[in-house]
Structure 1
């Protein structure tokens, strides 16, 4: 995005905002990456960053953490790998190991998050575990960052030799200390270390009495440090072993350096991911601390900001929303330029800066200090005239600098530009400056750019009041206290309150009256008109507030009554549940009796009598279930039963209820299953007749003769099971060989009921099957009883 003038970002206080984000970074990687952050170039890029921030917020809210404090910057070490023959230091290798382990921790923290894939997953999973690198380094370097003794056989041998030599040196040295101490040759501290060797602290007057090597003496000269002769050769041997140990360690570090060099690109990429993650968490914290949001950024040039605040003021006030007044503004290709007027120090300039900052925040991928419902587009150019740009060096007065800015705007502004101008036309003769400002405003409007301009000129306010692409706005002013409220009001110009403020400041009344007489009558009338409109607006606002308060009281009353109604419904539901439980218990008792009779009926001498008892029990159970159904249906007028004939209100199609699923029903319409909300269904006009015919159970004759065919079409599944079981029992009691059960084709519900009933009496049945299509096919079941 092109910006003008060169110091625009400084005037917008953008660097204050950027610094607050940098402070939020936990690692040096994040802070350094943020300092070189490149502005985003498209709406898609911005929305992608917002999606990552949103994903991280969800990740954090669900209690997951990324170890940002473990992010180390190893880029200087990676740069050394480009130098031929360079070997990394031990601490650098340890840092590489730390980074590789941190990668594993980050991936593990993501694995613990039970979530659908998000942009955060894609970012983190762009780096992978590198167990081979970790194992290769851990084979040589331990957790403390030191070379392991078992890193090589030769190193183990050298360290064993070093340990033995140190023990010998200690034994010999302690012997010398004991001997010389008894002779009172030693100083109080007895011993010290010089040049990596243990030395005796000898009183200076006795130094020639001790054979050995003089390494040092104290500043006072009273103490000399002598290596005993008996330890010299041991120290020499130890020095040789230590040197050999260092050479072996260098060989191991050289080997690790070559391994790390192969993984240099992988490690460098992980550093970039670490930096981006740190910046994401800082942006997320920034969003939370300053109560920001991430609305959808559009590619077209539009400004629809809701409850927008000046971001730099928010940072200065440490996120205190009460101290920064929000504003709403809408600008688009039809309503292009907002002209803000009103008294000085009323907040006009801060509103301009707020709009400019919004554009820069978007380019930095930062959340915006406005409502989530806002809409904002990206502009290709941000041009502004803010403050006083007079320059003695360039011989520019305030007015000249403003004209220079205006010339640049007219030459460079397009329909994709945002132009911000403060104190438009000021700095010259009021009448001449106003006339030129009006001409410039019309020329700028012809450029079709989006703009916000502040002014005190009455002719510009009048122009905006009748121009289709320019709208008036004002900063609200409290006439009682004669102080600004910093609230932006759209649709009307603002008064200057020149005389009111002068009166408040105790300017003599006669001077004020004289000034009024000298003002052009038309200008004064226009200002008075604005004043009167403001008074009317305040009256309407007061009435609106009173109505809103009444509405809130009504809402509270409605909430209370709704809660009371809910309590009554809960009590009713509890009573209904108790009754249903009792009826269910009665149903269970009857079912147990029915099962007992079915189980033992073949042992009874009078099968016919038992069949009649079964019929009676089934009728009693059906009666109870009918009562339960009525109890259930009474609580919901939309409740239907399986088998009901219903009509779809929208399409007027009719069908049969096959299944009830909560507030929806599965309906068979034209041999197709449809899931329909019960509120969209009503009972069919043919339902009553069906209930009287199809849904009445066909009675089994109690005479010795048996109807060889049972028709259960129109029954519910439960009714069908009971009826078929009873019919089969009666048929066996009448010693029937074969019977036919007509269940129809439909959706197969009644066929499953028949099969369930047949399985309950399978030991009495030899076979059952569908006849040929001409005899009913899959709509009929022919049952063959076993011969007794």
Structure 2
């Protein structure tokens, strides 16, 4: 399990990704998981969680008709069902039915897709496709969620009586209203409702003339609402019938609740599956938002982050309509301490935070925004020292805080630790602080730790160049305008461009030269050398890009020429074929004309054309034989080409050499792995911790 302290979570701003995840959650259980989001304890579980999310992302990206997640959690139902003589409320049965329909649709979707999405399919292993729950609930409830009249004989009888009484109430009330309306006792509104009972709207001056019970008055007092005396007993009877209906519904639901108890394990499984899928769905939607992928996960300590982004920076830039420059960062056992240098505001801290947040995301089970051909590994600890963390409460200065933090790092760091140290060694006298920082750097290096460090100290840059398992890197600047390019480059330290930035911001050259004279000559010379190196590297990069562009352009023209040539060669061949065919038809026509000319029409001799007809038959047989020969030749040629093509493909990728234990590469993704099992054309490949079943034709043999 990746161990992080609260400061690391704060420095890497994991809570901002949690805020996005919360928006995508449906139920409170998934929200609770997001609130407690931490690195996964078990590595096997982590790989499973990552694969589950990746499979759902794959389904979304391929625009498959995945069921829309619609459900309500069943916690209260699971709690109530075992209670003796309990009766679930009507809405609980609606929730159970919705869950059953949802799970059934998921099982149907994954039917016969277990090989394509094995981890999501496994998620449904504890549930089964059944309509028993749905059918039992549908026997009692109609499509509007109301208990059906025929749910029981007693309920049907009560509701029939209710309808009869209701009709009697309306007819009696209407008769009474017509009577008082005729006498002119009623207001313009004629009637109203009070406690779901119809009442007469009587002008207050006539209220004593109307037989009934006063129930209310209008605000002005001009109208008095009276329930007619004739409908009062009928309404009372209806109230009693309503009470009978409620009692009967309770009995029905109590019986249905008892029947649901037999399905309690299945209902619990529904709750578990849907809440897990809710969280997986939230993670997949975050991955789609960030254009995130699952990298190859190595057992050995190696990172190859291709086209990676800081997710929060990318989202912010996207909202502002700005482009985010992708980075490529590599770390391994031969380059495990990465020292990033260069001027301020060039992107050093963002690059450092990118490595840290992507590692934290991965070990929390989230996909990360990088190219799918990237490689990552797992660490046991991730520790950060980023930004100004003065503590007024503890009376700690920035430097004191950093020393306290460094002491902790020195105590816990080992070969399974990833350290992120921003502005390493700052906060004190540059010479003294730099010396102490160098000692810290050496100590952490000796502990075999992995680390990303940003610094301006020349001695740290030099030390990284001296140590065999450390490497320098820098953030590139435009050497003409001194504007940051926000691109990271491995292999050399960066200049701080201190004097150049000062000059471009209007500081007089006289003052700059005076400042240079106060520095050690070697230090100034080194900074100038770094400046020149970066300038030359930028120039070489530009030449390389131009060369690559020229090669691509030449290749495009070559392909266009070959395509055009092939097209015209095909046209020429078609014309030749047509000419040959025409010539053949002309020859056939001449021969047939000769037969016609030789045919004797008015000959008195019997069978005078017998020899001619024999010759015609012989000629036709010969032509048919030629046609059959051509057809057979075409058939054999096609078969030979097919075998040649199959052999060529196999020879090209050396697929005949692939066996258990071979190192292979996937043609589509370029990921490298080891063959674990071969069954005919199906091959199981181990990609880091992940296993994948692919066809033999999708692999390239690399080595044994």
Q: TM-score, normalised by structure 2?
A: 0.81
Does the residue aligned with 2:424 lie in a helix, a strand or coil? coil
Does the residue aligned with 1:193 lie in a helix, a strand or coil? strand
Shift of 1:422: 0.7
Shift of 1:624: 5.5
- The whole-number CA distance in structure 2 between the counterparts of 1:260 and 1:678 is 59
Q: Which moved more, 1:328-337 or 1:157-166?
A: 328-337
The answer to whether the aligner puts 1:162 opposite 2:162 as a matched pair is yes
Shift of 1:321: 9.5
The residue that corresponds to 2:131 in the other structure is: 131
Shift of 1:408: 0.8
The answer to whether the aligner puts 1:425 opposite 2:404 as a matched pair is no
Asked whether the 8 Å contact 2:301–2:377 carries over to 1, the reply is yes
Does the residue aligned with 1:317 lie in a helix, a strand or coil? helix
Shift of 1:79: 2.9
The residue that corresponds to 1:56 in the other structure is: 56
State how 1:537-576 maps to structure 2 within 5 Å: 537-571=537-571, 574=574
The residue that corresponds to 2:643 in the other structure is: 664
Asked whether the 8 Å contact 1:14–1:312 carries over to 2, the reply is no
The residue that corresponds to 2:457 in the other structure is: 457
- The whole-number CA distance in structure 2 between the counterparts of 1:622 and 1:283 is 69
Does the residue aligned with 2:452 lie in a helix, a strand or coil? strand
User: In 2 relative to 1, CA 95–580 (structure 1 residues): closer, same or farther, beyond 3 Å?
Assistant: farther
The residue that corresponds to 1:393 in the other structure is: 393
Shift of 1:344: 1.1
Measured against aligned partners, the alpha-carbon deviations of 1:74-103 in whole angstroms (never above 9, x if no partner) come to: 323333335444322122222222222233
Asked whether the 8 Å contact 2:201–2:225 carries over to 1, the reply is yes
The residue that corresponds to 2:21 in the other structure is: 21
Asked whether the 8 Å contact 2:346–2:484 carries over to 1, the reply is yes
Asked whether the 8 Å contact 2:2–2:41 carries over to 1, the reply is no
State how 1:571-582 maps to structure 2 within 5 Å: 571=571, 574=574
Segments of structure 1 that go 5 or more residues without pairing to the other structure are 589-609, 633-638, 642-658, 667-674, 681-788
The residue that corresponds to 1:743 in the other structure is: none
- The whole-number CA distance in structure 2 between the counterparts of 1:201 and 1:468 is 98
Does the residue aligned with 1:266 lie in a helix, a strand or coil? helix
- The whole-number CA distance in structure 2 between the counterparts of 1:367 and 1:583 is 68
Shift of 1:155: 0.8
- The whole-number CA distance in structure 2 between the counterparts of 1:146 and 1:246 is 12
User: In 2 relative to 1, CA 538–568 (structure 1 residues): closer, same or farther, beyond 3 Å?
Assistant: same
The residue that corresponds to 2:655 in the other structure is: none
Does the residue aligned with 1:103 lie in a helix, a strand or coil? helix
- The whole-number CA distance in structure 2 between the counterparts of 1:499 and 1:678 is 60
The residue that corresponds to 2:680 in the other structure is: none
- The whole-number CA distance in structure 2 between the counterparts of 1:585 and 1:56 is 63
- The whole-number CA distance in structure 2 between the counterparts of 1:663 and 1:429 is 76
Asked whether the 8 Å contact 1:68–1:278 carries over to 2, the reply is no
State how 1:591-740 maps to structure 2 within 5 Å: 660=639, 662-664=641-643
Shift of 1:419: 0.5
Shift of 1:583: 12
- The whole-number CA distance in structure 2 between the counterparts of 1:565 and 1:629 is 30
The residue that corresponds to 2:701 in the other structure is: none
Segments of structure 2 that go 5 or more residues without pairing to the other structure are 589-612, 652-704
User: In 2 relative to 1, CA 111–5 (structure 1 residues): closer, same or farther, beyond 3 Å?
Assistant: closer
The higher-RCO structure (CA 8 Å, 6+ apart) is 2
User: In 2 relative to 1, CA 402–54 (structure 1 residues): closer, same or farther, beyond 3 Å?
Assistant: closer
User: In 2 relative to 1, CA 506–63 (structure 1 residues): closer, same or farther, beyond 3 Å?
Assistant: closer
The residue that corresponds to 1:314 in the other structure is: 314
Does the residue aligned with 1:323 lie in a helix, a strand or coil? coil
Asked whether the 8 Å contact 1:309–1:370 carries over to 2, the reply is yes
Asked whether the 8 Å contact 1:302–1:377 carries over to 2, the reply is yes
The answer to whether the aligner puts 1:215 opposite 2:215 as a matched pair is yes
- The whole-number CA distance in structure 2 between the counterparts of 1:120 and 1:462 is 50
User: In 2 relative to 1, CA 129–628 (structure 1 residues): closer, same or farther, beyond 3 Å?
Assistant: closer
Asked whether the 8 Å contact 1:309–1:354 carries over to 2, the reply is yes
- The whole-number CA distance in structure 1 between the counterparts of 2:347 and 2:485 is 8
Does the residue aligned with 1:664 lie in a helix, a strand or coil? helix
Shift of 1:117: 5.7
User: In 2 relative to 1, CA 623–250 (structure 1 residues): closer, same or farther, beyond 3 Å?
Assistant: closer
Shift of 1:148: 0.3
Measured against aligned partners, the alpha-carbon deviations of 1:593-649 in whole angstroms (never above 9, x if no partner) come to: xxxxxxxxxxxxxxxxx999999987766656666777x5xxxxxx977xxxxxxxx
Does the residue aligned with 1:496 lie in a helix, a strand or coil? coil
The residue that corresponds to 1:409 in the other structure is: 409
Asked whether the 8 Å contact 2:2–2:363 carries over to 1, the reply is no
User: In 2 relative to 1, CA 119–441 (structure 1 residues): closer, same or farther, beyond 3 Å?
Assistant: same
Asked whether the 8 Å contact 1:29–1:274 carries over to 2, the reply is no
The residue that corresponds to 1:755 in the other structure is: none
Does the residue aligned with 1:339 lie in a helix, a strand or coil? strand
The residue that corresponds to 2:253 in the other structure is: 253
The residue that corresponds to 2:81 in the other structure is: 81
Shift of 1:268: 3.0
Measured against aligned partners, the alpha-carbon deviations of 1:453-501 in whole angstroms (never above 9, x if no partner) come to: 1111111111112210111111112232222212111111111111111
The answer to whether the aligner puts 1:472 opposite 2:452 as a matched pair is no
User: In 2 relative to 1, CA 86–550 (structure 1 residues): closer, same or farther, beyond 3 Å?
Assistant: same
Q: Which moved more, 1:384-393 or 1:204-213?
A: 204-213
- The whole-number CA distance in structure 1 between the counterparts of 2:235 and 2:146 is 24
- The whole-number CA distance in structure 2 between the counterparts of 1:679 and 1:17 is 46
The residue that corresponds to 1:277 in the other structure is: 277
Asked whether the 8 Å contact 1:42–1:378 carries over to 2, the reply is no
The answer to whether the aligner puts 1:105 opposite 2:97 as a matched pair is no
Shift of 1:120: 3.2
Q: Which moved more, 1:378-387 or 1:465-474?
A: 465-474
The answer to whether the aligner puts 1:536 opposite 2:539 as a matched pair is no
Shift of 1:519: 0.1
- The whole-number CA distance in structure 2 between the counterparts of 1:260 and 1:584 is 84
- The whole-number CA distance in structure 2 between the counterparts of 1:269 and 1:432 is 63
User: In 2 relative to 1, CA 33–464 (structure 1 residues): closer, same or farther, beyond 3 Å?
Assistant: closer
Does the residue aligned with 1:226 lie in a helix, a strand or coil? strand
Q: Which has the larger radius of gyration?
A: 1
Does the residue aligned with 2:206 lie in a helix, a strand or coil? helix
Asked whether the 8 Å contact 2:57–2:287 carries over to 1, the reply is no
- The whole-number CA distance in structure 2 between the counterparts of 1:33 and 1:538 is 47
Does the residue aligned with 1:70 lie in a helix, a strand or coil? coil
The residue that corresponds to 1:716 in the other structure is: none
User: In 2 relative to 1, CA 466–124 (structure 1 residues): closer, same or farther, beyond 3 Å?
Assistant: same
Shift of 1:28: 5.9
Counting matched residue pairs gives 632
Q: TM-score, normalised by structure 1?
A: 0.73
Does the residue aligned with 2:353 lie in a helix, a strand or coil? helix
State how 1:351-390 maps to structure 2 within 5 Å: 351-390=351-390
Does the residue aligned with 2:230 lie in a helix, a strand or coil? helix
The residue that corresponds to 1:72 in the other structure is: 72
Asked whether the 8 Å contact 1:380–1:416 carries over to 2, the reply is yes
Q: Which moved more, 1:498-507 or 1:112-121?
A: 112-121
- The whole-number CA distance in structure 2 between the counterparts of 1:116 and 1:334 is 37
User: In 2 relative to 1, CA 205–619 (structure 1 residues): closer, same or farther, beyond 3 Å?
Assistant: closer
The alignment's C-alpha RMSD in Å is 3.5
Shift of 1:358: 0.8
Shift of 1:562: 1.6
- The whole-number CA distance in structure 2 between the counterparts of 1:556 and 1:40 is 48
- The whole-number CA distance in structure 1 between the counterparts of 2:402 and 2:614 is 108
- The whole-number CA distance in structure 2 between the counterparts of 1:542 and 1:484 is 16
